[in-house]
Amino acid sequence: MIAIVIVAALGYFVDIYDLILFSIVRVPSLKSLGASGDSLLSDGVMLLNMQMAGMLVGGILWGILGDKKGRISVLFGSIILYSLANIANGFVQSINQYAVLRLVAGIGLAGELGAGITLVSEVMSKESRGYGTMIVATIGILGAVAAALIGDFFEWRIAFFVGGGLGLILLVLRIGVYESGMFSAMLSKNIKKGSFLDLFTNRKRFLRYIKCIAIGVPIWFVVGILITFSPEFAKVLGIKEPISAGNAVMYCYIGLALGDFTSGSLSQLIRSRKKVVFMYIIIMTFFIGVYLFYNHFNSFYFYTLCIFLGFGGGYWAIFVTIASEQFGTNLRATVTTTVPNFVRGGVVPLTLAFEFVSRQIGIIYGGLIVGAAALIIAYISAINLEETYGKDLNYVELL
């Protein structure tokens, strides 16, 4: 059981490493491939969208495969695809090659977190599985710190080789990891499994699924807007010292790791997922307000707020655990794999809305309006979701 938690945590570590690494090496990698001026931004956005498209497609594919063929098959297949794509990223000679490989890497990465959380949730006892998912998320999120450090100290091609190498090492470590007993028992029965479309054919099931996605959106509002565009916010806020987006990401993810560890432990101690989600949404709301309106002093204060913003968003482990616990064994991997990838993909409409509103009323109030909408929807969704602490997961959805 400990081995399963460790390999799932390391899989998420690799997931986050690559997700953040591209943002860090975007400019130097594109410059070395001949991009300059405005193309650094336009090509960077295109490559990021290719990666996110891969994660959205991969989330659906790996989720369905996880429910049809098993959680272990996804853990092996996803890491093989990711590792080979990342090593190939280190050899690209054109932006078109880069784009194709970011798509492939995104598809590979998409299966890691969902399959890992599903497996951990099903092999651990209902009273202790929250600790398992907390460890997975806390260790995994530190992959962002590793990406920031390696991306700063090594040439960009080497950084991609490191990511691919980590994936291949993890592949070896996964040999001998056993399948979920719940899934194995379900295989002997004539039960419809991994039907993604069935999430949309029943109103109650569809609303349950959408609410699982909605409670995670504020986390990626913080990461995808407030942290990603931190240099722009700092300039408008009047901070004279230069603010690095890479440093802001690193400090935010340190906060996320601390928040995931604390929120996961707290949910076990008070025996509630929902109460902790409410608490962290309130904490996040407070620090978003401080970030937007009381953040004009210096770089130290700014980066400190990035840590606190990350801490407020540190209910990612509970968010994914809630998604896993909301659905039966025959849809659990599909849901647990697609939900976090759809939340990540939600950055696209969030940034589009932020860009549109900011043009009308400025970057600060644009952030306030988009952030408030995400927080309100998340809070309402959390209120209407079932409390799942201690829930017996050995059941199936009637499709």
Contact criterion met (CB below 8 Å) for 16 and 145: no
What mean pLDDT comes out for the span 296-319? 93
pLDDT at 222 over 90: yes
| pLDDT given for residue 366 in this prediction | 92
Give the per-residue pLDDT at 334.
Answer: 94
Question: Range with the lowest mean pLDDT among 101-110, 178-187, 338-347?
Answer: 178-187
Q: What is the mean pLDDT of residues 280-298?
A: 93
Burial 136-157 (b: 16+ CB within 10 A, else e): bbbbbbbbbbbbbebbeeeebb
The answer to whether residue 1 scores a pLDDT higher than 80 is no
Threshold 0.85, pTM exceeds: yes
Of 372, 377, 53, nearest to 207 by C-alpha is 377
All domains in the chain, ordered by first residue: 2-176+193-383 (1.20.1250.20)
Residue 180 is classified by DSSP as P
Tell me the average pLDDT across 226-254: 88
Among candidate residues 93, 94, 332, 58, the one with its CA nearest the CA of residue 209: 332
Measured distance CA(28)–CA(44) in Å, rounded = 11
Whole-number pLDDT of residue 157? 94
Predicted local confidence at residue 44, as pLDDT: 78
Percent of the chain whose predicted confidence (pLDDT) is above 70: 99
CA of residue 4 relative to chain centroid, distance = 20
pLDDT for 371 equals 95
Secondary structure letter of residue 125 according to DSSP? -
pLDDT mean over 139-146: 88
What is the band of 152 on the pLDDT scale with cuts at 50, 70, 90?
Answer: confident
pLDDT in tens, 382-398: 999 999 998 989 888 88
pLDDT band for position 221 (cuts 50, 70, 90)? very high
pLDDT at 215 over 80: yes
Q: Which two tokens stand for residue 206?
A: 């569809």
Q: For residue 356, give every residue at least 6 positions away whose Cβ sits within 8 Å of its Cβ, in sequence order, or none.
A: none
* Angle (nearest 5°) at CA 93 between 90 and 95: 100
Burial of residue 232 (number of CB atoms within 10 Å: 0-12, 13-18, 19+): middle
Mean pLDDT of 359-371: 92
Most confident of 128-132, 208-212, 238-242, 291-295: 208-212
Summarize pLDDT for 171-190 with one digit per residue, the tens: 888 887 887 788 888 877 88
Q: Quick one: average pLDDT of 234-241?
A: 89
The pLDDT, as a whole number, for residue 38 is 72
Q: How far apart are CA 117 and CA 137, in angstroms?
A: 9
Confidence of residue 323 (pLDDT cuts 50, 70, 90): very high
DSSP 98-118: HHHHHHHHHHHHTTHHHHHHH
Give the pLDDT band of residue 342 (cuts 50, 70, 90): very high
Average predicted confidence (pLDDT) for the chain: 89
